[in-house]
Amino acid sequence: MNERETNAAHNYKIILVCLMAVGIASIFYFLPAQQDPSSLAANLNSTGESDLTFGQNQDSDQDNEKDSEILIPAVPEDNEEEIKEIEVIPATPKDSEFKAVEEIAEELSIPNVENDKPTDAVVLLESQKLSTFSSAQVDGFARRFYGGYPYDKAKYSVEKWKITFTTTHHNNRITTGNALVYLPIGDGPFPILGSAAGTTGIDDACAPSRENVAVANWGDYEGYNAAFAGQGYAVVFPDYSGFNDTDGLHHYFVADLEARVVLDSLKAIKNLAAQINLPLQDKIYLSGYSQGAHSIFAAADIYKQYAPNLPIAGLITYGAANHTVDLLKFNSNLGPYLIYAYQDLYGKEVSDPDKLLQPRFARSLVTDHKQCIGSVGNFYGYDGSKVYSDELWSSLKNGTVETDFPQFYEALARNISGYGDWNFPSLILQGSTDNITPPEQNVRLLNRLCAEKKPTTYRELASTSHVYTRQRSFKDTLTWIDAVNSGQNFPNSCATL
């Protein structure tokens, strides 16, 4: 072997060793942290059950700082078993071939919500099983998410899937929707739980399904979804319209677009269950956190026209943000998302950043809007006078947006959700120290729902901030669903108004 060959062989060995080292490091990077199960004992009573009583306020010593909907990770999961990975099951349309969205569009009769033309025509384009979690691993996710708050041990192991399906966008354009699905492994039949995310951002990189809790915790949606799947719910968790789309922009707080993808994801999980022979109950519950509450109320508002055959049994909201004007008033860190999204959808004559934002933020909004939820709080801050234009901030404080910015207000008003023609039960869970969606906002919502004869349970959680409403109310949610599911009486707050 000559000197050149010797050097080449030596270099090759070095490269091979480096690649092996990188591979080993990657494996350890993705392994979950270990947690001593005994560390949680102090947070539960002697039986491991919750000390919470449904319908009463409890005290909490949680930090109530304004936190931009970012959940502080509680306890690492203790996944002691290896997660089984990746099984791809392609969808099978009538001709057994994968079809482009444009081809499917020619075959489907997609409804125009305004024209009241319902359809169940949603095609499951692709389904991919990503992982299988044992019940112990599901408990690890729940422990991470709920931390010291009580939760029930998983009754089922869980499969995690990713699905792609047809849905509709602005002007009834056919596009694709994406969702993660968490399915209990068992005989069933299982009720469906639609799970809608809080704000994560509006750029494609901020899609809820892209959350990586180890890098940036936007709400630990995997922990929430896996915990409910472990209790025997078939959970579907859609990305909002515009995420994972060639358009690359989520039109934030546009009620109709949120509603369509939520409803179509419910049709898609039914298609997936039929494909894999998983029995489902004829009952669907929708749960939404913050922006997610806006989305599920919007879905309720149009379901009679868009998806009348879906058996929706009830709504559960955590820190509901159903009111667009209130969103701007109380969340100046999120206002630029809405202003940019409305400009993109409705035009600059409706939503003009130059008129609605301070000049330094208006100038750079074309790039700044790409920030995900983890950074916008520090970037914009929470002082509306420093984010919005002087005129808009004055209008928000004085309640004169309608007269000062009539076109912008019209767009805001048409996207307030929850006041449509529906009558199934709803559970509103509200933190008493929530400064993102303050209690007075949801009390006003309660009064409106009760005035419209919608059966509503309102629960205010004492000393609880926005991000902990889900953690504080796991038991309450299950108790309420069980009561509705079995036809029992549940607390109706409207009776006391």
Report the CATH number that the domain containing residue 93 is assigned in CATH.
3.40.50.1820
For residues 304 and 351, membership in a common domain is answered with: no
Q: How far apart are CA 121 and CA 492, in angstroms?
A: 36
Token code pair at residue 253: 């707080």
For residues 237 and 226, membership in a common domain is answered with: yes
Q: How far apart are CA 473 and CA 52, in angstroms?
A: 9
* Residue 246 forms part of a structural domain: yes
For residues 313 and 376, membership in a common domain is answered with: no
Q: What is the pLDDT of residue 44?
A: 26
Q: What is the pLDDT of residue 173?
A: 83
Q: What is the pLDDT of residue 31?
A: 35
pLDDT < 70: residue spans in the chain: 1-120, 246-248
Query: Listing from the earlier edge strand, what are the strands of the sheet with 190-196?
Result: 84-90, 124-133, 158-168, 174-184, 234-238, 190-196, 280-289, 312-318, 426-431, 456-461
For residues 279 and 374, membership in a common domain is answered with: no
Helix 291-306 and helix 255-275, axial crossing angle in degrees, nearest 10? 70
* Residue 483 forms part of a structural domain: no
Identify the domain boundary among 323, 346, 381.
Answer: 323
For residues 262 and 357, membership in a common domain is answered with: no
* Residue 155 forms part of a structural domain: yes
- CA 353, 466, 75, 198 dihedral sign is negative
For residues 279 and 345, membership in a common domain is answered with: no
Whole domain around residue 386: which residue ranges?
326-414
* Residue 4 forms part of a structural domain: no
Q: How far apart are CA 221 and CA 46, in angstroms?
A: 29
For residues 132 and 238, membership in a common domain is answered with: yes
For residues 212 and 335, membership in a common domain is answered with: no
For residues 316 and 331, membership in a common domain is answered with: no
Token code pair at residue 125: 């384009």
Identify the domain boundary among 323, 358, 375.
Answer: 323
CA dihedral 398, 404, 408, 413 (to 10 degrees): 50
Identify the domain boundary among 279, 296, 323.
Answer: 323
For residue 485, give every residue at least 6 positions away whose Cβ sits within 8 Å of its Cβ, in sequence order, or none: 191, 283, 313
For residues 130 and 278, membership in a common domain is answered with: yes
CA dihedral 307, 477, 183, 216 (to 10 degrees): 100
Domain count, the chain: 2
Please return the burial class of 14, using the count of CB atoms within 10 Å of its CB with bins 0-12, 13-18 and 19+.
exposed
For residues 388 and 245, membership in a common domain is answered with: no
For residues 195 and 96, membership in a common domain is answered with: yes
pLDDT tens across 186-226, in order? 999 999 999 999 999 999 999 999 999 999 999 999 999 99
* Residue 406 forms part of a structural domain: yes
* Residue 360 forms part of a structural domain: yes
* Residue 493 forms part of a structural domain: no
Query: pTM for this structure?
Result: 0.80
